[in-house]
Chains A and B, each alone.
Chain A
Amino acid sequence: MHLNYQKAEPSIKLKTHTDSTGVCSPHLSLKLELQSQSMAASIAVTANYVLQPPPYALDALEPHMSKQTLEFHWGKHHRAYVDNLKKQVLGTDLEGKPLDHIINKTYNNGDLLPAFNNAAQAWNHEFFWESMKPNGGGKPSGELLALLERDFTSYEKFYEEFNAAAATQFGAGWAWLAYANDKLKVVKTPNAVNPLVLGSFPLLTIDVWEHAYYLDFQNRRPDYIKTFMNNLVSWEAVSARLEAAKVASSSSA
């Protein structure tokens, strides 16, 4: 199932790019026009294997998520996924393909191929940074709140379910708010797996790999999850993604 958030014809830019050995190779980059706006990155599945910075300074989420965490989590872990993905697809038929294509191909119906981890983690982390904002968190409003109340009976019930999913994902993984078949649901996934390969549109995520919270919270994952929900979630990003997801799923219906 081909999943993306684009409804209109994507704007295709053909770039040439000279690598460090002086070899010139074309890269096809598929980006929505919206991408240049801060929120747009949250809805586009980028094809460029570029380490995008979070849409805020590395210390902007303090005291809820420390600058030190961002420096390591974005600056080392996320960077390594992007760099290693580039090396891994070089010279293979995955080279130059959009990231979502690589993710779906290498998911291989659950029998993961080698590039899956780096590709999915590169995507997941960009999505994660954009799921947060300074002075975020709390309760959403408007249509998003109405849908959460519709599908979970109350925001509090959603909060509980999301927290429980994030707390009980054993080992490394992610918890998600996702959209499929006109319904919102909470999903938890192991390691690098994300809802894209499970047939739904991700709207919000929290990283529960230990590296995401260990410097700030050590073993106290439940405290990290509460802090994320109360102080970091960007409901604007979630709403924008929901709009894009509704459009995309109606156009492919």
Chain B
Amino acid sequence: MAIRCVASRRTLAGLKETSSRLIGFRGIQTFTLPDLPYDYGALEPAISGEIMQIHHQKHHQTYVTNYNNALEQLDQAVSKGDASAVVKLQSAIKFNGAGHVNHSIFWKNLAPVKEGGGEPPKGSLGSAIDTHFGSLEGLVKKMSAEGAAVQGSGWVWLGLDKELKKLVVDTTANQDPLVTKGGSLVPLVGIDVWEHAYYLQYKNVRPEYLKNVWKVINWKYASEIYEKECN
């Protein structure tokens, strides 16, 4: 079943700058799907436009919708003092909220080649990578191997441990954010290894996806986060 790739960015909500909005008299803050900073087809051939469109418009949108629903239900449960309802909602909030957060990071972790995607990191992040992993190739090899080894769904991350001031590579299951692996971990680069992230193009060959995704990794963004957190 072929899906036509939409050539232009789709703005699914009016607000471009903010990804949240206030609704209701109580002012509960809910969320909207952030725009991609590039066209769906702009990451080809590393990631197909078909995948980008479905991944953004369907998967990420579903997390946002379900997160908002869970937050509204939580608001009601809290105001009613319904403790068991509050507890029951936690897994929906965790799955969908984290799904929204992780994917929002992911879109920024990617960039078209003509906007710097794939360009190696310079500056302090570049040096830190050489220090901790020997070279960028060393880091790429490690992250690709760990990403390929994730059983089921999850993410592979390059993170900064703010306390220990070192870079770490780790994986998380499902939509668990990196912080579940360590309270002082800040995500710099996350690569989605859920099958929906690559299946239409790479099928069962996740290692091939992991080999190619590096061509569109946006090291400029990762460097910005790193420099901000180090100061």
Whether A113 is near chain B, meaning CB under 8 Å from some CB there, is no
Residues of B with C-beta under 8 A to A211: 195, 199, 204
Residues of A with C-beta under 8 A to B175: 170-171
The reply to whether A80 and B204 form a contact with Cβ atoms under 8 Å apart is: yes
The reply to whether B199 and A214 form a contact with Cβ atoms under 8 Å apart is: yes
Known contacts A171-B173, A219-B54; is A214 also within 8 Å of B200 by CB?
A: yes
Can you name the residue of chain B whose Cβ is closest to the Cβ of A116? B151
Residues 51-91 of chain A: 1 if any B CB is under 8 Å from the residue's CB, otherwise 0?
00000000000000000000010001100100000000000
Instruction: Tell me the interface secondary structure of chain B in the complex.
Output: mixed
Whether B95 is near chain A, meaning CB under 8 Å from some CB there, is yes
Nearest chain B CB to A117's CB is how many angstroms away?
A: 5
Can you name the residue of chain B whose Cβ is closest to the Cβ of A219? B58
Nearest chain A CB to B96's CB is how many angstroms away?
A: 9
**CA–CA, A210 to B95, complex, Å?**
16
Name A215's contact: one of B151, B194, B200 (CB within 8 Å): B200
Residues 211-253 of chain A: 1 if any B CB is under 8 Å from the residue's CB, otherwise 0?
1001110110000000000000000000000000000000000
Whether B13 is near chain A, meaning CB under 8 Å from some CB there, is no
The reply to whether A191 and B204 form a contact with Cβ atoms under 8 Å apart is: no
Can you name the residue of chain B whose Cβ is closest to the Cβ of A117? B151
Name B204's contact: one of A72, A170, A172, A192 (CB within 8 Å): A72
**CA–CA, A162 to B16, complex, Å?**
40
Whether B65 is near chain A, meaning CB under 8 Å from some CB there, is no
**CA–CA, A172 to B199, complex, Å?**
14
The reply to whether A218 and B58 form a contact with Cβ atoms under 8 Å apart is: yes
Q: Number of contacts between A and B (CB, 8 Å)?
A: 56
Can you name the residue of chain B whose Cβ is closest to the Cβ of A191? B152
The reply to whether A192 and B196 form a contact with Cβ atoms under 8 Å apart is: no
Whether B62 is near chain A, meaning CB under 8 Å from some CB there, is yes
Residues of B with C-beta under 8 A to A210: 153, 194-196, 199
Whether B174 is near chain A, meaning CB under 8 Å from some CB there, is yes
Known contacts A77-B204, A117-B151, A219-B58; is A214 also within 8 Å of B174 by CB?
A: no
Whether A10 is near chain B, meaning CB under 8 Å from some CB there, is no
Whether A190 is near chain B, meaning CB under 8 Å from some CB there, is yes
Name B152's contact: one of A80, A209, A216, A218 (CB within 8 Å): A209
**CA–CA, A77 to B151, complex, Å?**
12
Give 23 A-B contacts (CB < 8 Å), ordered by A residue. Answer: A76-B203, A77-B204, A117-B151, A170-B175, A171-B152, A171-B194, A172-B152, A190-B152, A191-B151, A192-B152, A209-B152, A210-B195, A210-B199, A211-B199, A214-B196, A214-B200, A216-B1, A218-B3, A218-B54, A218-B58, A218-B196, A218-B200, A219-B54
Q: Please list the 7 inter-chain residue pairs (A to B) with the smallest Cβ-Cβ separation, ordered nearest first.
A: A210-B195, A172-B152, A171-B153, A191-B152, A171-B174, A219-B58, A76-B204
Q: Show the binding face of A for B, using Cβ within 8 Å.
A: 72, 76-77, 80, 117, 170-173, 190-192, 209-211, 214-216, 218-219
